[in-house]
């Protein structure tokens, strides 16, 4: 039953997005926090990540980025910011941001992901995210000089 509610919520999120409004709506997230328990919110966050991944594979990078951000916001609100999965979603979000042309934001998220992976002792991904931070930062700098 909880999964059905989660899926219905995800569909609602997806439908509520417009091409012109890709920011994370705090009211949407607050509404979820007031409605569901931590376990269900975790499931919703997981579903958002799955949807974002599918959108990314279809080339819908802005939409994917928006869903990753919602997932991060939910996880942060329920106390999972220090969880390893938060670092993974940050990293995925940085890649979607980069592909969407949001180089500066991608660089910041990659740096956050690198620090989070490092805190969890996941050096392979900490290094990969740090390298992406540098690469995305260069793209950000080039964009700033245009």
Torsions phi, psi for 21 (to 5 deg): -125, 95
| Residue 14 within any structural domain of the chain | no
Share of the chain above pLDDT 70, in %: 82
Number of domains in the chain: 1
Q: Which two tokens stand for residue 30?
A: 């607050």
| Residue 10 within any structural domain of the chain | no
Q: Are the beta carbons of 117 and 126 closer than 8 angstroms?
A: yes
Average pLDDT taken over every residue of the chain: 86
Classify 18 as helix, strand or coil. strand
Q: Are the beta carbons of 107 and 133 closer than 8 angstroms?
A: yes
Which pLDDT score is estimated for 31? 83
| Residue 24 within any structural domain of the chain | no
| Residue 32 within any structural domain of the chain | no
Strands (E), the chain: none
Q: In whole angstroms, how far apart are CA 95 and each of 18, 40, 47, 50? A: 21, 27, 18, 15
| Residue 19 within any structural domain of the chain | no
Question: Which CATH number covers residue 137?
Answer: 1.25.40.10
Average the pLDDT over 10-36 and give the result. Answer: 59
Cα–Cα distance between 89 and 31 in angstroms, integer? 22
| Residue 140 within any structural domain of the chain | yes
Cα–Cα distance between 2 and 89 in angstroms, integer? 22
Comparing 86 with 29, the larger pLDDT belongs to 86
pLDDT over 80 (residue 8): no
pLDDT over 70 (residue 97): yes
Which pLDDT score is estimated for 71? 96
pLDDT band at 2 (very low <50, low <70, confident <90, very high): low
Classify 1 as helix, strand or coil. coil
| Residue 133 within any structural domain of the chain | yes
pLDDT over 50 (residue 105): yes
| Residue 79 within any structural domain of the chain | yes
Question: What residues make up the domain containing 59?
Answer: 38-145
Cα–Cα distance between 98 and 59 in angstroms, integer? 12
């Amino acid at each position: 039953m909880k999964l059905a509610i989660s899926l219905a919520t995800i569909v609602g999120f997806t439908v509520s997005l417009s091409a012109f409004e890709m920011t994370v709506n705090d009211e949407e997230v607050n509404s979820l926090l007031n409605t569901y328990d931590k376990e269900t919110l975790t499931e919703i966050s997981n579903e958002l990540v799955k949807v974002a991944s599918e959108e990314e594979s279809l080339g819908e990078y802005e939409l994917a980025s928006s869903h990753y951000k919602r997932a991060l916001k939910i996880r942060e609100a329920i106390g999972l910011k220090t969880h390893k999965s938060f670092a993974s979603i940050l990293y995925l979000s940085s890649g979607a941001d980069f592909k969407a042309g949001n180089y500066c934001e991608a660089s910041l998220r990659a740096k956050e992901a690198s620090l989070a992976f490092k805190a969890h002792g996941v050096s392979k991904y900490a290094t990969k995210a740090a390298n992406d931070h540098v690469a995305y930062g260069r793209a950000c700098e080039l964009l700033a000089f245009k």
